């Protein structure tokens, strides 16, 4: 089944404790992206990647890192999480970057930082 898989789905952590949210897709998609969803703000893009070893900042990249060493994986790294990073995170992918390429979303990862 074609899908985007995120792990963990739920995580509670403490301020400053490094964590990684993994994202993997099995559709050979070139484009991958991370979003955070907060009430009243919709989805905001954190980082995106157009291909292996090519990443770029979205609208809210502060406090996050990403890497794209393999086409299928696009992990989101929080080096020193803070409470304002408590949010629902979505990874998404598409075949390419053009607007006609529909995004496929993962199920989401709910992160709480205490």
Q: Which residues bind another protein (CB under 8 A)?
A: 4, 33, 35, 40-45, 90, 92, 97-100, 102-103, 105-108
31-38/42-51 β-pairing: antiparallel
Using DSSP's 3-state secondary structure scheme, residue 84 falls into helix
Which C-beta is closer to another protein: that of 50 or that of 77? 50
Residues 6+ apart with CB under 8 A from 40: none
Nearest approach, Cβ of residue 45 and another protein (Å): 7
Closer to another protein by CB, 9 or 18: give it.
9
CB 32, min distance to another protein, A: 13
Distance CA 9, CA 108 (A): 6
Cβ closest to another protein, residue 65 vs residue 110: 110
Specify the 3-state DSSP secondary structure of 67. coil
């Amino acid at each position: 089944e074609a899908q985007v898989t995120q792990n963990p789905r739920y995580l509670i952590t403490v301020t400053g404790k490094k964590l990684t949210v993994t994202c993997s897709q099995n559709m050979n998609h070139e484009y991958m992206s991370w979003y955070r969803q907060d009430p009243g703000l919709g989805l905001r893009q954190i980082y995106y990647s157009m291909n292996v070893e090519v990443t770029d900042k979205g609208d809210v990249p502060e406090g996050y890192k990403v890497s794209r060493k393999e086409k299928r994986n696009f992990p989101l790294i929080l080096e020193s999480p803070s409470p304002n990073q408590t949010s629902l995170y979505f990874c998404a992918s598409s075949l390419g970057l053009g607007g006609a390429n529909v995004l496929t979303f993962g199920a989401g990862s709910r992160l709480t930082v205490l």
